[in-house]
Amino acid sequence: MSTSEEKKRVLVGMSGGVNSSVAAVLLKNQGYDVIGCHLQLWSPGQSDSDRFRGRCCSGVDSDAPRRVCDHLRIPYCEMSVQDAFQDKVVDYFVSESLQSRSPNPCIQCNAEIKFRYLIQKADELSCDMIATGHYAQVVQDSKVGSAYLKKAVDPAKDQSYFLFSVPQKVLLRTIMPIGSLPKVMVRKLAEGFGLTAVSEAESQEVCLMAEEGHKELIEKRSPPSLRSAGIIRTLDGNIIGEHNGLHHYRMGQSRGLNLKQKEHQGFFVLGFEAKTQTLVVGPEHHLDHQDLAVSHVNWIRPVNELRTLSCKARLRSGQEEIPCHVTCFENAWVQVRFNTPQRVIAAGQAIVFYDGDEILGGGVIESPLDSLGYAEGLKV
């Protein structure tokens, strides 16, 4: 981290919430030349029904970041990135969902929007570094010229899962000042800095909408032909019902299937056939898988791709870490084998690899592997 004598310039991503506001004032007090920057993700006046319904990117009170910067007496700027956000996050989410996948828009937004455009603006303003209010830690190793991503001190607020896709070259210029602090301390600092009156929102990254919001967004932004009704069948091909659109269902879902026969009452969603709009269901034990294929892997810490890596992984944010072995293949694909079978591995969701408190990297789950150890795109 910079010393006050160096007086490095840092661009702080400002949401208007407590976390990014405290991050800005901490850096200012450490002697940085701080500039606040707000990324405008939604068009002014856009209806709430079109938005991801969470504090991170809901667009509520767009004047809050400016008020915080005025209060801190630091320069303020805005970047309008609505088109990129619609393309890279919203349309991506809708497209993936229509293919019966389980995308995470927060991860996509971090890599494709927030950090990308903050770095771009930092270069325009001759800033050495960027900073955010994420609950994670970036450790700079000047000896080897690398940056390491670690969990936040406060496990209840840790956001490291959402950050695995941020490239190494960006992490090298990134500071996350509050990752080393518990949330209770961040709140006390906000009160001490007089920020609570101008920055009341909790800027925890929780932009994933409620399930009914997902459906509403998908239906508003896709033609009816891509979300048509279809059949429900079992693994052995028996047709046992009808559904009103695959986007209404998620892997492992059991409620809302409306299956008539008593012997089918305990069935779960096991898979999707998007081309035929078919929902595949069956007994719960078919949800357990021990091997899976992962694509779009980003390694933050370089790994020896010629050797199997033993580490731990999370399939969801906040989940306990699971011991596993990772075998690397071509084109950023890996095979993951868990020590024990895991429940509900859904295509499109993220898997993140950990070594203690360090985030090694992560990728996107494509599919469980069949008995031959083969998945489309994985070259064995």
In this predicted structure, what is the pLDDT of residue 67?
A: 93
Amino acid occupying residue 15: S
Contacts of 319 (CB under 8 A, 6+ apart): none
Q: What would the two tokens of residue 228 be? A: 């048509």
User: Residue 56 catalytic?
Assistant: no
Any idea where the domains of the chain sit in the sequence?
9-192, 228-282, 288-368
Could you give the residue ranges of the DSSP H alpha helices within the chain?
Answer: 18-29, 64-72, 82-85, 91-98, 105-109, 115-124, 168-171, 183-192, 211-220
Strand ranges of the sheet holding 230-234, from the earlier edge strand across to the other edge: 239-243, 230-234, 278-282, 268-273
Are the beta carbons of 350 and 164 closer than 8 angstroms?
yes
| Alpha carbons 193 and 188: distance in angstroms, whole number | 9
Average pLDDT, the chain: 87
| Alpha carbons 24 and 176: distance in angstroms, whole number | 10
Options 3.90.1170.50, 3.40.50.1000, 1.10.4080.10, 2.40.30.10; CATH of 288-368: 2.40.30.10
| Alpha carbons 120 and 16: distance in angstroms, whole number | 20
| Domain 9-192 of CATH type 3.40.50.920 | no
Question: What does the CA dihedral 149, 81, 202, 64 come to, rounded to 10 degrees?
Answer: 130
Higher-pLDDT residue of 93 and 54 is 93
| Alpha carbons 244 and 192: distance in angstroms, whole number | 54
**What tens digit of pLDDT does each residue of 129-140 get?**
999 999 999 999
Are the beta carbons of 57 and 41 closer than 8 angstroms?
yes
| Alpha carbons 368 and 44: distance in angstroms, whole number | 42
Q: What would the two tokens of residue 137 be? A: 């830690």
| Domain 228-282 of CATH type 1.10.150.20 | no
User: Residue 207 catalytic?
Assistant: yes
Q: Is the pLDDT of residue 320 over 80?
A: yes
Higher-pLDDT residue of 118 and 3 is 118
Give percent of the chain with pLDDT exceeding 70.
85
Amino acid occupying residue 341: P
Task: Give DSSP secondary structure letters for 261-320.
Answer: SGGGTT-EEEEEETTTTEEEEE-GGGGEEEEEEEEEEEESS---TTSPEEEEEESSTTPP
Q: With CA atoms as reference, report the closest residue to 250 among 97, 92, 50, 366.
A: 97
| Alpha carbons 349 and 351: distance in angstroms, whole number | 7
The residue annotated as part of the active site, out of 106, 207, 311, 324, is 207
Please tell me what DSSP assigns to residue 160: G
**What tens digit of pLDDT does each residue of 22-35 get?**
999 999 999 999 99
Give 61's pLDDT tier (boundaries 50, 70, 90).
low
Q: Is the pLDDT of residue 207 over 70?
A: no
**What tens digit of pLDDT does each residue of 3-17 get?**
444 679 999 999 989
Q: With CA atoms as reference, report the closest residue to 153 among 173, 176, 125.
A: 176
The residue annotated as part of the active site, out of 37, 57, 69, 109, is 109
Please tell me what DSSP assigns to residue 40: E
Q: With CA atoms as reference, report the closest residue to 31 among 129, 151, 141, 144.
A: 129
Q: What is the mean pLDDT of residues 323-342?
A: 94
**What tens digit of pLDDT does each residue of 159-184 get?**
999 999 999 999 999 999 999 999 99
Q: Is the pLDDT of residue 198 over 80?
A: no
Q: Is the pLDDT of residue 204 over 70?
A: no
Are the beta carbons of 21 and 200 closer than 8 angstroms?
no
